[in-house]
Structure 1
Amino acid sequence: MNLILWRHAEAEDHAASDLARQLTPRGRKQAQGIAKWLKVRIDDDALLLASPATRTIQTVEAFGDRYRVVDELAPGARAQAVLAAAGWPDGIAETVVVIGHQPTLGHVAALLMTGVEAEWSIKKSGIWWFQSRSRNGDGQTVLRAVMNPDLL
């Protein structure tokens, strides 16, 4: 299974509610750049799961309109809720892209890399790509890629 954590792009600081915050023009550009980078690297049957926040939906829409909104990925979600939504490590699909928030995605990345949740930061519109595999009967987590919009 491939699990790709994609933090939403830059969003406005204030709105009627936290869930209503929209991407800034810079954020739209960030999302488009990462979506373009990702499209050529993942299969068409990848499953995209987005938080119900407007900024995550606008981020994933740069990729296309094939996504599901998952309430369990809302701001403040627990790392285990993200992993459960994606079906990690076996997967509900071969490739699952989770579009979400900090600090949750940083907690997930730390948990996958070290076995312990920690305060790791994922840059706005950045992705961390993990793969689960089995070697000699042992489950392993592999970090396949980290990409940030300023590297494009």
Structure 2
Amino acid sequence: MTHETYTLNLYLLRHGKAVEDFANDFDRPLTPRGREQAKEKGQLLKKIVRSLNLIVCSPSSRTRETLDYLNINHFQSRVYFFKELYLATSDDLIKSIQNFKNTNSMLIIGHNPALHCLSHLFLSSSYSSSENPTKLTSFPTAALAHFSLNIQNCHELNIRQSNLIAFYP
């Protein structure tokens, strides 16, 4: 059995600021500030990312709207909406990552607490607490984390070989 290893550039993006009081949480739209946050993160992504093969997004209104306002169509990424990303756990996010083999760059647009928990999982597995470069005490709206992950045998995510490249609150 061949043990192929490749690097995945994983970008985790929390949706922009959403309306607080709304009848149905799933349908909460972005506020004007949330739309601006998404536009700003889209500009940032255009500066820091050379290619983006895949976008995996929660189907909630605020995450879809965030994707629209990113305005990153020039990447010509494949886009998937997974209902499992709404109210997801960090384990659900890991499964989403593992669903795609040989993808070298992926953006996940989702929600807290899953994004924050997954970031902590990557950081705590990669560093001792004394050498952790970023504590990531919060994952605010429109926060973007860039991790470099080693993937083995197409579907095996080795979280011990994950590195935080940058965090943009």
Alignment TM class, shorter chain as reference: 0.7 to 0.9
**Identical columns (%):** 28
What residue number does 1:56 align with? Answer: 63
Q: What is the root-mean-square deviation of aligned Cα atoms in Å?
A: 2.4
What residue number does 2:161 align with? Answer: 140
Task: Structure 1 unaligned segments of length 5 or more: list them.
Answer: none
What residue number does 1:104 align with? Answer: 114
Matched, 1:46 2:53: yes
Deviations 1:73-126 (A, max 9, x none): 112x110110110228x855211111011111011001111139xx95201101
Q: Secondary structure at the match of 2:11?
A: strand
Q: How does 1:61-100 map to 2 (within 5 A)?
A: 61-64=68-71, 66=77, 67-75=79-87, 77-87=88-98, 93-100=103-110
Mapped to 2, the partners of 1:39 and 1:83 lie a distance apart of 25
Task: Structure 2 unaligned segments of length 5 or more: list them.
Answer: 1-7, 127-135, 152-157
CA contact (8 A) 1:86 1:92 kept: no
Mapped to 1, the partners of 2:122 and 2:68 lie a distance apart of 27
CA separation of 1:122 and 1:92: change in aligned 2, threshold 3 A: farther
What residue number does 2:154 align with? Answer: none
What residue number does 1:3 align with? Answer: 10
The one-letter code matched in structure 2 to 1:81 is D
CA contact (8 A) 1:132 1:142 kept: yes
Compare CA radii of gyration and give the structure with the larger one.
Answer: 2
Mapped to 2, the partners of 1:27 and 1:104 lie a distance apart of 19
Post-superposition, which runs of at least 4 consecutive aligned residues in structure 1 deviate over 6 A?
A: none
Q: With structure 2 as the length reference, what TM-score do the two structures score?
A: 0.75
Q: Secondary structure at the match of 1:40?
A: helix
Mapped to 2, the partners of 1:24 and 1:129 lie a distance apart of 25
Mapped to 1, the partners of 2:143 and 2:105 lie a distance apart of 17
Q: With structure 1 as the length reference, what TM-score do the two structures score?
A: 0.82
CA separation of 1:7 and 1:91: change in aligned 2, threshold 3 A: farther
